[in-house]
Amino acid sequence: MTRIPDIHLNLNVRGLTASATLAINERSAALVAEGRRVYRLGLGQSPFPVPELVVEALRANAHQKDYLNVRGLAELRAAVADYHRRRSQTPATAEDVLIGPGSKELMFLIQLVYYGDLVVPIPSWVSYEPQAQIIGRHVRWIRTRREDHWLLQPEELERLCAQDPKRPRLLILNYPNNPTGVSYDKETLAALAEVAARYQIVLLSDEIYGELHHRDEHHSIAEYYPEGTIVSTGLSKWCGAGGWRLGAFTFPPSMRWLLNSMAVVASETYTTTAAPIQYAAITAFRERAQLEDYLIQSRRILAALCRVASERLRSVGVHVPQADGGFYLFVDFEALRPLLAQRGITSSAALCEALLTETGVATLPGSNFGCAPELLSLRLAYVDFDGGAALEAAAAVPGDGPLDDAFVRTRCAGVTEAIDRMCGWIARGAPAT
Ligand code: PMP
């Protein structure tokens, strides 16, 4: 039988493996199939159901069957533009918006059509860099420090750009951040914007967790660098609809050439975003005010769980930066290096593997986020609980103040149990005192 040899596989994809987050999910599912209890803190999926109002809109539009405009439905683009105007006072119209099947796809398209280096801080979300590799772009990682909460500092950006001031660059900033949960304050955003403007950087502001800022204090860097910032958002996180696949980019009018070019490639690849999903998304963006309660309770739950989990982890000697939003914690085990070395653990991959097999807690190693493999860090997604039940229970707690430990321990037990197991595992290796 003829066998087609694999030697002609595109060099850019040779050796690449499936996205790390999907891989951990499959590995967890295999352990569950063996009858093991697995705590799924690997994949970053919203624990909350899609709001009923938006589900109803999808139901009502199941019959929509036509191919739609490659840029997205005009009404949806207008709704996204209005939403941005309300949230960050940046002027945007429907013409500035591009809808796609998930913001991840739009990120791939922008890297394809813009010929520039990809610049990303360490740590960063798992897919930016593999996308650049697939396309064949240079990647410049910028180091960040534990004492800066792993946030990109304007001086570091300046240092990189000054080496070759005219070089075209695409910088992706993501806040609240995946994997750390940390966000930028206004001063840092303004200072980063100043550097970006001076070097004419194309800035992709990945604000997919913006609505999940625990104190509802999200600010966009587009307020400080409107002429060079593209804001990325979508339904996956704040609307709990990751599997629906809907993302949106909002461009400054002066970057219409970039939007147009992405739309051309979209027209030759995925054609359009699923019609019923686009119709339902109009409701999500336009009726955002009606979703306020859903978001208030979501933030309340995430904030309380974040506090309880961070405090518990810190009590056993690991470093966890103060998260501001989203549903991730970035745990740094460096202080326990000698102890872990005694157990033969000297890399983040080994750390996560040991945790998964010895405690059943699935997490992702820091190396998936651009960290040096030997840095003993991991990301956990505190999402393994019944989000629908937790939302109902939170709504029944009077007032809008913080939820207490007892709430978290009963309503988000999957996560608190997982953290207890991790802490027990760490303590078992601690020297007797
Ligand atoms: N950016 C970040 C930081 C993410 O965490 C994710 C999803 N995990 C995405 C982008 C992609 O989201 P989607 O394609 O579902 O819009």
Rounded Cα–Cα distance for residues 43 and 24 (Å)? 7
Tell the burial category of 63 from Cβ atoms under 10 Å away from its Cβ (0-12, 13-18, 19+): exposed
Give nearest CA residue, ligand 1 atom 9. Answer: 104
CA 20 to chain centre: 13
Report whether the peptide linkage leading into residue 130 is cis, meaning its omega lies within 30 degrees of zero: no
Tell the burial category of 65 from Cβ atoms under 10 Å away from its Cβ (0-12, 13-18, 19+): exposed
310 in helix, strand or coil? helix
What is the DSSP annotation of 139-189? EEEE---GGGTTPPPHHHHHHHHHTSTT--EEEEEESS-TTT-----HHHH
**Best mutation site among 105, 150, 178 for ligand 1 pocket (most ligand atoms within 8 Å of CB):** 178
CA 44 to chain centre: 8
Rounded Cα–Cα distance for residues 280 and 243 (Å)? 14
- CA 327-329-330 angle, to 5 degrees, is 145
Ligand 1 centroid–CA 336 distance in Å is 31
From the alpha carbon of 209, which atom of ligand 1 is closest?
A: 3
Identify whether the C-beta of residue 61 lies closer than 8 Å to the C-beta of residue 279. Answer: yes
Give nearest CA residue, ligand 1 atom 11. Answer: 104
Ligand 1 centroid–CA 103 distance in Å is 6
What is the DSSP annotation of 219-266? --GGGT-TTTEEEEEESTTTTS-GGG--EEEE--GGGHHHHHHHHHHH
Ligand 1 centroid–CA 248 distance in Å is 11
Rounded Cα–Cα distance for residues 112 and 106 (Å)? 10
pLDDT given for residue 144 in this prediction: 97
From the alpha carbon of 104, which atom of ligand 1 is closest?
A: 14
CB contact burial 337-356 (16+ within 10 A = b; e otherwise): eeebeeeebebbbbbbeebb
Ligand 1 centroid–CA 233 distance in Å is 9
Give nearest CA residue, ligand 1 atom 8. Answer: 44
Rounded Cα–Cα distance for residues 283 and 296 (Å)? 18
pLDDT given for residue 431 in this prediction: 46
Rounded Cα–Cα distance for residues 265 and 109 (Å)? 7
Rounded Cα–Cα distance for residues 172 and 150 (Å)? 15
Give nearest CA residue, ligand 1 atom 5. Answer: 178
Residue in this structure with the two tokens 């321990």, named with its chain if needed: 409
- CA 11-268-69 angle, to 5 degrees, is 145
From the alpha carbon of 103, which atom of ligand 1 is closest?
A: 16
Q: Read off the pTM.
A: 0.96
Q: Ligand 1 pocket: which residues have CB below 6 Å?
A: 44, 102-104, 125, 174, 178, 206, 208, 234, 236, 242, 247
pLDDT given for residue 233 in this prediction: 97
Ligand 1 centroid–CA 104 distance in Å is 6
H/E element, 205: strand 202-206
348: left (phi over 0), alpha (psi -120 to 50) or beta: alpha
Which residues in the chain come in under a pLDDT of 70? 19-23, 430-433
407 in helix, strand or coil? helix
Find the helix packing angle between 275-286 and 74-88, rounded to 10°.
Answer: 30
From the alpha carbon of 245, which atom of ligand 1 is closest?
A: 15
Ligand 1 centroid–CA 200 distance in Å is 25
From the alpha carbon of 105, which atom of ligand 1 is closest?
A: 14
pLDDT, tens only, 345-398? 999 999 999 999 899 999 999 999 999 999 999 999 999 999 999 999 999 998
From the alpha carbon of 234, which atom of ligand 1 is closest?
A: 16
